């Protein structure tokens, strides 16, 4: 068995996508898989129902796998939302007993059979791209400058975008955090600092972990990428396609988005019709309150 696990961090407004994701993992993970799941609450007392839903979905859809479920650790209390989610991902890697983690966001659905036996650890799949958008360039510069300030070393990193699923070396994550924030100081970071847990990591490791920037495990709709990939949808139906995950971000709520995802769900028989209707119901319930 390969020394790797799935790592998932979810939160209240990702309940709908977590529901569909767990269905897809239960159906398409072809071997028993170790899965570590964290729920990133804002107020634990106000989210008892959502926590119970996650536990229910684990029991219903992931019962064949080795699943451990945790709430956000109490030590992470200076950040919130997207920022605390990044810290929880680091926390999961830091405390993992596996050498590698495949990190999933709740927006990633597994639509083809998949196992970790397919992963080449000497040539890890990654979502490479030409770094042209301003936010990514500024974030990479921030990561490089921060590492230099802390260590006096220049690190260029690799041009791998922060698109899940990604696979990181947990030993390298631990090395990075212990060097940049001795004594677990990273757990106390505030929203003002964090920019991208992945881009800091990929800058830190440079070429010490080999990534294949052209081996994309996912295709789908997030950010502004949907207009680019909608025309490539036919690639999903090629038997030799490298894509295993479909990404549908919770903010992609137009009819064209649901039409494409519905077509994929039907084509690959990801879930039952009643489960799809329940997913839409959950999205209407939770995402209508999200801004």
Per-residue pLDDT reduced to its tens digit, 32-57: 999 999 999 999 999 999 999 999 99
Query: Is residue 114 assigned to a domain?
Result: yes
**In this structure, which long-range contacts are made by residues 133-139, counting pairs with CB atoms below 8 Å and at least 24 apart in sequence?**
136/161, 136/162, 136/199, 139/195, 139/196, 139/199
Please report whether residue 274 resides in a domain: no
Give the pLDDT of residue 131: 57
Within a domain: residue 166?
Answer: yes
Which structural domain, as residue segments, surrounds residue 13? 4-218
Q: Which of 261, 241, 195, 249 shows the shortest CA–CA distance to 224?
A: 249
Domain contains 16: yes
285 domain-assigned = no
Residue 224: predicted pLDDT:
66
Look at residue 33 in the predicted model and tell me its pLDDT: 96
Looking at the domain assignment, is residue 173 inside a domain?
Answer: yes
Six-digit token string for 82: 């997207």
Residue carrying the six token digits 């004594």: 183
> For the domain that residue 185 is a member of, what is the CATH number?
3.90.550
pLDDT by residue (tens digit) across 98-132?
Answer: 999 999 999 999 999 999 999 999 999 988 765 55
| Total of domains in the chain | 1
DSSP character string of 51-117: HHHHHHHHHHHSTTSEEEEEEPPTT--S--HHHHHHHHHHHHHHT-SSSEEEEE-TTEEE-S-B-GG
In whole angstroms, give the CA distance from residue 106 to residue 93: 17
**Secondary element (H or E) of residue 176:** helix 170-180
Q: Is residue 283 in some structural domain?
A: no
Is 243 contained in some domain? no
């Amino acid at each position: 068995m390969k020394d790797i696990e799935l790592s998932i961090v979810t939160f209240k407004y990702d309940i709908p996508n977590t529901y569909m994701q767990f269905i897809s993992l239960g159906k398409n993970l072809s071997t028993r898989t170790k899965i570590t799941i964290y729920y990133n609450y804002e107020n634990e007392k106000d989210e008892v129902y959502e926590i119970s839903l996650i536990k229910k979905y684990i029991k219903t859809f992931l019962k064949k796998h080795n699943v451990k479920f945790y709430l956000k650790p109490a030590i992470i209390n200076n950040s919130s939302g997207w920022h605390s989610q990044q810290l929880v991902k680091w926390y999961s890697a830091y405390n993992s007993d596996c050498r590698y983690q495949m990190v999933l966001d709740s927006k990633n659905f597994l639509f083809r059979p998949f196992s970790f036996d397919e992963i080449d650890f000497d040539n890890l799949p990654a979502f490479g791209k030409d770094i042209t958008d301003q936010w990514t360039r500024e974030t990479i510069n921030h990561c490089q400058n921060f590492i230099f300030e802390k260590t006096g070393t220049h690190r260029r990193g690799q041009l791998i975008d922060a698109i899940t699923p990604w696979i990181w070396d947990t030993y390298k994550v631990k090395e990075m955090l212990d060097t940049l924030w001795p004594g677990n100081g990273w757990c106390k970071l505030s929203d003002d600092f964090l920019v991208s847990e992945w881009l800091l990591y990929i800058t830190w490791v440079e070429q010490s972990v080999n990534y294949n920037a052209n081996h994309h495990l996912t295709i789908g709709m997030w950010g502004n990428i949907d207009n680019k990939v909608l025309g490539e949808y036919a690639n999903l139906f090629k038997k030799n396609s490298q894509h295993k995950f479909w990404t549908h971000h919770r903010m992609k709520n137009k009819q064209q988005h649901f039409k494409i995802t519905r077509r994929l769900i039907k084509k690959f028989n990801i879930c039952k019709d009643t489960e799809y209707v329940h997913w839409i119901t959950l999205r209407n319930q939770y995402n209508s309150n999200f801004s």
